[in-house]
Structure 1
Amino acid sequence: MAITLSRRTVLRGLGTSVALPMLDAMHPTRLLAASHRETSSPIRMGFFYVPNGMHMPDWTPKEDGASYAMTETLARIADHRNDINVLSGLTLDGARAHGDGGGDHARSVAAFLTGAHPRKTNGADIENGVSVDQATAMQVGDATRFSSLELGLETSSQAGNCDSGYSCAYASNMSWRGPTNPMAKEHDPRAVFDRLFGGQTEKETRRARSEREKHRKSILDFVEADAKRLHAHLPIVDRRKLDEYLYSVRDIEKRIAGAEKLGMTEEGVPDFPRPLGVPRELSKHSELMMDMIALAYQTDSTRILSFMFTNAGSNRSYKEIEVNDGHHELSHHGKSADKQHGIAKINRFHLDRFEYLLRKLKQIPEGEGTLLDHCMIVYGSGISDGDRHNHDDLPILLAGGGGGRIRSGRHIRYKNGTPLCNLYLWMMQQMGASADKFGDSTAPLDRLG
């Protein structure tokens, strides 16, 4: 006999809680915003930041509208052309100096989601604005297990001098719960996995982890009985969805364990103890984090997240793509053709990682479409040309269909100087948050629907 499930149904076991993907047997849920009701598929919001600007000649299309020709960099996501909008002309005024001198890199991150101009200090008296992800989470975030997730490929710092007198708190955090409260990001995919599939308390999670390590078990072994009971009562389509989802969870679990070249048992289960650190290769590290993001959205564990590829002003080299010079150093290209070529290669490397996520989201059915159809995800930087350190005409993508609210497949050119916060205000309203202004917004961004 088929059953009706709550959207919050989970599989439970010893110290383990495995949320489920959207199944046909589930009822729509309701946001806490009093006047807003969801469809059967909630909208997800995401923000992805890349440092040091872009090589803009390889980024910005020459044509406007749906018939634009993709540039050399944007061609990396050509398969998703109909799922993205390229937005030109948006500006981040809060990242400008306004009399404070140097520090454009730190300001570009601190202002990227807040629209605010951070106080210039490398001491304890930091001050910034509230970021759009947190402002939205404060209103609608308690509809999910995690009101928001803050992720990245590098750790956050809360003190120190990182950029011309600006605290490292500005340079390494773009999510801010309050003016003095940056939200540290998690960069270890194993830690994110444990958060998504751990118990209700840290004590339960530690106990389950100890049992898995002791008996070399998968996290799914603890919920096997619960999964079998549920499986028997689901319609055929939902059984297939559940089987595919559980397979993907176990596959990611294996890959996390394998990141440090751990062996496997004969049953194909990770041979714990769990490794320390993160994958050495940035591409593998990034892909595992994108897997975590897809799982977080798919299971409705959160609908709001932010992701920093690296911290502001990063001088990381990219030997994986044969770029041996530091990223920040290359961004100060002084019109050097060789340096601009290196910057463009790094831009494409980052966009390839984002393409991996878009592909994952498009492969997950949800409702009448895909998971990507129910997302609105911003990708870009708070600096345009890294050599000029300008904060206007930013490189910004908006990916996903926003639950039918976004008409994608276009290059939309706004008047240069249009606040980036106009986009954020529009996104907040689509999420059901009550807002008529955010940061330096002047109105919700138009021409998206």
Structure 2
Amino acid sequence: MPKTLSRRTLLRGAGVSIGLPLLESMSPNRLLSAAGKSSQPPLRMAFFYVPNGMHMPDWKPTQEGFKYQLTPTLERVADYRDQFNVLSGLTLDGARAHGDGGGDHARSVAAFLTGAHPRKTNGADIQNGISVDQATAQYVGDRTPFASLELGLEASAQAGNCDSGYSCAYASNLSWRGPTSPMAKEIDPGALFDRLFAGQTVKETKTALSIREKYRKSILDFALEDAKRLHRVLPTVDQRKLDEYLYAVRDVEKRLGGAERLRLTEDGVPDYPRPSGVPKELEQHSDLMMDMVTLAFQTDSTRILSFMFTNAGSNRSYKQIDVSEGHHELSHHGKSEHKQAQIAKINRFHLDRFAYLLGRLRSVPEGRSNLLDNSLIVYGSGISDGDRHNHDDLPILLAGSGGGRIKTGRHVAYKNGTPLCNLYLWMMHQMGADAKAFGDSTGLLSLS
């Protein structure tokens, strides 16, 4: 058996630095640490936000515990029922008006990860709070190349009036480094791929991208010799894991290359190895970004991540699922059966995209389990019913068992009004962030 590998081992070559998945040779569970305890895979935390609330009758189960019946919307993640909990009764008080009038959509995003009540302004004097992902990154972010990643499918804005006098900075940014510092999202899967797998410095990255453009090479071609050298000294189980991982990286890279139609020269050769930019089809765009999330966690590039499907108050239509009206317009359904049915279809479409991520994470073995098991992933919205604009009894799903820290497969109903930040404070503690409080928390949420 080879010498134990460092968790930070990289495959290198010509401006490329490729992180590796957790291998048995990296202080695996069967190897004992100096303290005599088994080494455990790292824990990840992530937050996925959907806009305009939820059609709650199709979301919230009526029974509690392990034997609850999946609702029509939750049926979309039925294959992962044993690996998530549905949490009801959690409340986001910071998203309420508190005398500020309209603007529930912008407030719901600004408050979702901060628990704060944002100052109502569309000027430069924005004021919010630090978000849970950034607060946690202050404790553990130095353990990975990226302290956190901020991702989405629609670009962030930092100025303008987006919702009843609230700045677009509130409506389009989920993550906040501090009260006046929103973290802009990366929405281009190709750009994210380059961040994860190009060089460790700006100069190395530019060199790698330049050579790839010129010779139309895969990023793996640069590190091929290093990969072969490592492969020769690994035990069989790690050789298989390495092969599967490198195949996944190349597969994603190929799909990035096909995200938009390439122009061809007369001999049929593409002008470029792959285009930059965002895929036009939302489903393809989302699935590529979910592949990036999987690779980021698999390589331990980061352990903290936030993701917005669309910005607050999005009025996008979803013609691919036969919804031609705008999402925001439909959310003000006025109890119209047609509009509620359309909203439910959009909710299911978003959850389908999330289900794709759950499947990708579960397919990656890690230690004695898999990436999904070794994660805590929140999916939900800061608005409950889009017509009422209420911020209590929120639609929240918590996927992953946190490395065995919680029992999954349940609907857990809390007293309505329980701060959502109680969940976040508990998650921070599991990540190793010894915070006494967060946002409007009143204590640790009980997940036993």
User: TM-score if structure 2 supplies the norm length?
Assistant: 0.96
Quote the residue 1:328 is aligned against.
328
Paired residues for 1:31-46 under 5 Å? 39-46=39-46
Quote the residue 1:165 is aligned against.
165
Letter aligned with residue 311 of structure 1 = N
Letter aligned with residue 233 of structure 2 = H
Counterpart contact for 1:7–1:28, Cα < 8 Å: no
Could you tell me how far apart the structure 2 residues matched to 1:426 and 1:70 are? 26
Could you tell me how far apart the structure 1 residues matched to 2:278 and 2:185 are? 14
The change in CA–CA distance for 1:120 and 1:335 in structure 2 (over 3 A counts) is: same
Quote the residue 1:376 is aligned against.
376
Quote the residue 2:426 is aligned against.
426
Residue deviations 1:419-439, cap 9 Å, x none? 000000000000000112100
Does 1:121 find its partner at 2:108? no
Could you tell me how far apart the structure 2 residues matched to 1:397 and 1:163 are? 27
Aligned length: 439
Quote the residue 1:255 is aligned against.
255
Paired residues for 1:30-429 under 5 Å? 39-262=39-262, 272-429=272-429
Counterpart contact for 2:160–2:167, Cα < 8 Å: yes
Could you tell me how far apart the structure 1 residues matched to 2:297 and 2:385 are? 32
Counterpart contact for 2:149–2:305, Cα < 8 Å: yes
Counterpart contact for 2:106–2:162, Cα < 8 Å: yes
Following superposition, the deviation at residue 202 of structure 1 comes to 1.6
Counterpart contact for 2:27–2:39, Cα < 8 Å: no
Could you tell me how far apart the structure 2 residues matched to 1:68 and 1:300 are? 35
Could you tell me how far apart the structure 1 residues matched to 2:19 and 2:40 are? 16
Counterpart contact for 1:84–1:400, Cα < 8 Å: yes
- In the alignment, structure 1 segments of 5+ residues that lack a partner are 30-36
Q: Determine helix, strand or coil for the equivalent of 1:211.
A: helix
Following superposition, the deviation at residue 261 of structure 1 comes to 2.3
Counterpart contact for 1:212–1:272, Cα < 8 Å: no
Residue deviations 1:364-417, cap 9 Å, x none? 000001111100000000000000000000000000010110100000000000
Following superposition, the deviation at residue 206 of structure 1 comes to 1.4
Letter aligned with residue 188 of structure 2 = D
Following superposition, the deviation at residue 332 of structure 1 comes to 0.2
Letter aligned with residue 106 of structure 1 = A
Could you tell me how far apart the structure 2 residues matched to 1:69 and 1:112 are? 27
- In the alignment, structure 2 segments of 5+ residues that lack a partner are 30-36
Quote the residue 2:32 is aligned against.
none
Q: Determine helix, strand or coil for the equivalent of 1:377.
A: strand
Q: Determine helix, strand or coil for the equivalent of 2:379.
A: strand
Quote the residue 1:33 is aligned against.
none
The change in CA–CA distance for 1:72 and 1:270 in structure 2 (over 3 A counts) is: farther
Q: Determine helix, strand or coil for the equivalent of 2:223.
A: helix
Following superposition, the deviation at residue 40 of structure 1 comes to 2.7
Following superposition, the deviation at residue 273 of structure 1 comes to 4.5
Residue deviations 1:154-205, cap 9 Å, x none? 0000000000000000000010000000000000000110000010112211
Following superposition, the deviation at residue 228 of structure 1 comes to 0.4
**Considering only aligned residues, what root-mean-square deviation do their CA atoms show, in Å?**
1.7
Could you tell me how far apart the structure 2 residues matched to 1:38 and 1:396 are? 33
Counterpart contact for 1:129–1:179, Cα < 8 Å: yes
Counterpart contact for 1:421–1:441, Cα < 8 Å: yes
Q: Determine helix, strand or coil for the equivalent of 1:372.
A: coil
Residue deviations 1:264-287, cap 9 Å, x none? 99xxx9872431321111000000
Letter aligned with residue 177 of structure 1 = R
Q: Determine helix, strand or coil for the equivalent of 2:41.
A: coil
The change in CA–CA distance for 1:55 and 1:237 in structure 2 (over 3 A counts) is: same
Following superposition, the deviation at residue 38 of structure 1 comes to 9.1
Could you tell me how far apart the structure 1 residues matched to 2:289 and 2:21 are? 18
Letter aligned with residue 157 of structure 1 = A
Residue deviations 1:291-345, cap 9 Å, x none? 0000000010000000000000000000111100000000000000110011000
Letter aligned with residue 114 of structure 1 = T
User: TM-score if structure 1 supplies the norm length?
Assistant: 0.96
Counterpart contact for 2:15–2:207, Cα < 8 Å: yes
The change in CA–CA distance for 1:374 and 1:264 in structure 2 (over 3 A counts) is: farther
Could you tell me how far apart the structure 1 residues matched to 2:271 and 2:385 are? 46
Could you tell me how far apart the structure 2 residues matched to 1:168 and 1:138 are? 26
Does 1:16 find its partner at 2:52? no
Letter aligned with residue 425 of structure 2 = L
Letter aligned with residue 10 of structure 1 = L
Q: Determine helix, strand or coil for the equivalent of 1:373.
A: coil
Could you tell me how far apart the structure 1 residues matched to 2:66 and 2:355 are? 20
Q: Determine helix, strand or coil for the equivalent of 2:373.
A: helix
